[in-house]
Structure 1
């Protein structure tokens, strides 16, 4: 299958979860033998129009993220390439409209994807963009609701969650033991203070906690731990590579999710797949609670007092270092859901 991705600004321009997700899917498709091209603004030095990476051809539509030039040139390039499917990032909306024109010329269905980590200003172009694709993919029901609120038809949306590498989990030895682990970029939405307050309520019990991640609020959280007199039992591990995070999760008993904003609770999913009990504090702008709705080894809470009680109750579950029931989230299984989406649309368009 020939798949054309349209991502004007890639993670090489600015690292964002949604962009990394599309680039990962593109690389996985190429690894399966599909012909994959990413149409983007050039992010490499030199005058070459294309660059190969992970089996994917990146084609520079423009030498920089110049929106007007990008949208003018894109339809012609797609028409000449004649892909079987066009898969476009939802931002900027005008690029989605241009991708739709190119898809029409190439007789290829248009899939749009919105991870929820980019703004979609309320403009006429956005209204066109959310109605142009044959389907819009989101990582969670939370983001799906928001794209519907922006004007998309519910029938033209579908949820495909993030995934994990189950092979990496099984190949990685459990690391340092911890009773509680937390992981996220430590910004204003991390909300680690709720976890620290809950742990302070349990200072008379025996426990050890690890907080993974770095960011502008780390120093403030470290001061709070010291003020609460629990800093001797809370380890701030900093930013860790994926393999090290997996080792920490496999060695931990409970993962706590308190962040105020999560389009998809990726670290929570990794931790659950590594056998952790999951505790999620409900937040209106976080999709994390949806991930554990039907998951047995989990608790949902609303404040630090309930969180402290849940940490104690989590001890009733035996320790585990893998959960095979979450193999449905393996990267290969998630890739199959994208391929199913493509085939469904090709069938609807009479192209199969």
Structure 2
């Protein structure tokens, strides 16, 4: 089966995050199960135009906005058996030209992010495209999402629950790291540094707790346009010497920092699931996040593997509770370790493959396979 995945980034992109890792893991897994998988995504500095990695063919065309036009061209030229249309806010609208089934992959809805990125006017236009146009274009299509929360949000847009399949994230094997829990209280935040991730709330927590916790520190892992504003905010609050921005680090370094930390903070406005919540949990580190953030309400079991807050005051209070009460921190951390052990990418791939084969069930299996076409660019 020839599958075309259209996505706004792949994991080689400098701004990639958890959703891109999900797409890559699913694509590689489907290729290993015998599908011909092509990923259409935008070019970026130093990227290769065409390459095949782990059995997946990557076609990089266009840029941040023109990739959406290239996706339509790819559908017409490649004539796939099925399209996986990854909707990260902006839909690719491949259904308009596809003569095959289309699966829409949605991690979470972006109502708040549209406004934070583009302002009130363009933000309303973006949300209209996501919430009104897309459900009508993809009427009758199968959806896949990573959490029951997003499934409920899609139902609010008129997408029937029986058209939505939940395929949660998996967890990569955690590398062995050397070192023990830091003897001094250490908070960590792992995130793309963009406005809707609200890493400023983690900095605010340090500022509010600094008088009672003179040795408290925060280490931030990740890169993005908010890096300088976050550093400036820490200085403004008088905790610049307590906050370390590491920028991008390799996987081993990331896990070494997680393993040293006491509490992981995830103050994001919205998360489809939160892979880093599971990565922290694998090291016995509980996470503090917000109830309203969506999918973290499933990657975190409130009071069992971490804590969920309703507002900034509650976020700071939950953080201090875990700093102060070593027993709670250990119990929730061990709960997180046991909980995340049940998530494997193979399970996720198997679930996605069932969706693909279910859609294509009954089509002629023995028909001659078309040679892959080329999208010139």
Bin of the TM-score, shorter chain as denominator length: 0.7 to 0.9
Is 1:339 the equivalent of 2:340? no
Q: Bigger CA drift: 122-131 or 328-337? A: 122-131
User: 2: distance between equivalents of 1:14 and 1:214?
Assistant: 8
> What is the rounded CA distance, in whole Å, between the counterparts of 1:265 and 1:68 in structure 2?
30
Cα 1:295–1:54 change in 2 (3 A) is farther
1:297 aligns with 2:305: yes
Question: Helix, strand or coil: the match of 2:288?
Answer: strand
1:230 offset after TM fit, Å? 3.0
| C-alpha distance after superposition, 1:227-273 (max 9, x if no partner) | 43333333222222233212211221211111223233232222122
Select which of 274, 277, 282 maps to 2:283: 274
Q: Structure 1 73/279 Cα, relative in aligned 2: closer, same or farther at 3 Å?
A: closer
Q: 1:317 aligned to 2:328? A: yes
Q: Which moved more, 1:10-19 or 1:300-309?
A: 10-19
Question: Are residues 1:53 and 2:53 paired?
Answer: yes
Contact 1:137 1:157 in 2 (8 A): yes
Structure 1 contact 176–248 (Cα < 8 Å) conserved: no
Specify whether residues 326 and 3 from structure 1 end up closer, same or farther in structure 2 by C-alpha distance, changes over 3 A only.
farther
Structure 1 residues 239 and 59, CA, compared in 2 at 3 Å: closer, same or farther?
Answer: closer
Q: Which residue does the alignment assign to 1:129?
A: 137
5+ residue gaps, structure 1: 104-109
1:88, CA displacement in angstroms? Answer: 3.2
Q: What's 2:85 paired with?
A: 88
Q: Are 1:173 and 2:172 an aligned pair?
A: no
1:199–1:71: structure 2 CA closer, same or farther, 3 Å change rule? closer
Equivalent of residue 113 in structure 1, options 105, 120, 145: 105
Contact kept? 2:9, 2:42, Cα under 8 Å: no
Give the drift of 1:72.
6.8
TM-score by length of 2: 0.72
Q: How does 1:34-49 map to 2 (within 5 A)?
A: 34-38=34-38, 40=40
CA change 1:144–1:174 in 2 (3 A) is: farther
Q: How does 1:212-231 map to 2 (within 5 A)?
A: 212-231=221-240
Task: Go from structure 1 to structure 2 and tell me whether the alpha carbon gap of 1:256 and 1:3 turns closer, same or farther (over 3 Å shift).
Answer: same
Structural RMSD (CA): 3.8
CA distance in 2, matches of 1:124, 1:204: 49
Per-residue CA deviation, residues 55-109 of structure 1 (Å, 9 max, x unaligned), is: 123468x88957678647735743xx6x4x543334645313433x224xxxxxx
Q: How does 1:189-228 map to 2 (within 5 A)?
A: 189-202=196-209, 203-205=211-213, 206-228=215-237
SS of equivalent to 1:335: helix
CA gap 1:164/1:174 in 2 versus in 1, 3 angstroms: farther
5+ residue gaps, structure 2:
111-125, 366-377
CA distance in 2 between partners of 1:200 and 1:307 (Å): 13
Q: CA deviation at 1:125?
A: 6.0
Cα distance in 1 for partners of 2:251, 2:27 equals 20
1:235 corresponds to 2:244: yes
Deviations, residues 136-188 of structure 1 (Å, cap 9, x unaligned): 011233433343333322110022222221x2x15333577353111212222
Q: In the alignment, what sits opposite 2:264?
A: 255
Question: What is the CA distance between 1:313 and its match in structure 2?
Answer: 2.3
For the 8 Å contact 1:130–1:152, the answer to whether it is kept is no
Distance 1:130-1:229 versus aligned 2 partners, 3 A rule:
same
TM-score of the superposition, structure 1-length normalised?
0.76
* Structure 1 pair 201–157 and aligned structure 2 pair: CA distance change class (3 A): same
1:326 to 331, 340, 355: 340
* Conserved 8 A contact 1:50-1:59: yes
Structure 2 equivalent of residue 106 of structure 1:
none
Deviation (angstroms), 1:198: 2.6
